Amino acid sequence: MKARQVPSPNHDDRPAGAGISLLVLHSISLPPGEYGGDAIERLFCNTLDTSAHPSFADLAGLRVSEHFFIRRDGALLQFVPVEKRAWHAGVSRWRGRERCNDFSVGIELEGTDDSAFSNQQYLALIALAKRLLRQHPIRSIAAHSDVAPGRKTDPGTRFEWPRLLAAIAHKI
């Protein structure tokens, strides 16, 4: 599966020796509950017109990114090279280790915390996760809500963890 490259300026170098050991799954839709369009791409590339929709006001000046974004139809976009640190998890902790951006790959799914994800998204996510697991010493997969509890709730309760984990179980 080939990803369409959409370079984001919102990244930097990982700390020396950090390694990639975690996948962090997120969900987003802009405006909330609306799919398609280029608002998410614009957000990750710092070109979002925050006056274009009332829900965008809180995003003014925000500098965030993901490594990958999977649209509802399964299309895969890549914003940041895996070797670089994307700015996706924010203040975060996983198994006692702070700053998850240092050692994780962020994967964003187009959706909301309370919506089901499409079959095409699961197929794309499984293929991407398998590829990343082959290429990096990844030991865990977590939700954004797991690494930033109380602050984040995505990808939400409708995400089918058993489906993903069964498909990649022999990889981790």
- Taking residue 109's Cβ as centre, other Cβ atoms within 10 Å add up to 27
- Helices marked H in the chain — which ranges? 39-44, 119-135, 144-147, 161-168
Output the tens digit of pLDDT for each of the chain's 172 residues. 799 999 999 999 999 999 999 999 999 999 999 999 999 999 999 999 999 999 999 999 999 999 999 999 999 999 999 999 999 999 999 999 999 999 999 999 999 999 999 999 999 999 999 999 999 999 999 999 999 999 999 999 999 999 999 999 855 5
- Taking residue 62's Cβ as centre, other Cβ atoms within 10 Å add up to 14
Give the pLDDT of residue 172: 57
Give the pLDDT of residue 1: 75
Catalytic residue among 34, 108, 110, 160: 108
The full set of domains in the chain, from first to last, is 4-171 (3.40.80.10)
Is 108 catalytic? The answer is yes
- Taking residue 15's Cβ as centre, other Cβ atoms within 10 Å add up to 12
CA gap 63, 162 in Å, rounded? 32
Q: In this structure, are residues 111 and 155 in contact, taking their beta carbons and an 8 Å threshold?
A: yes
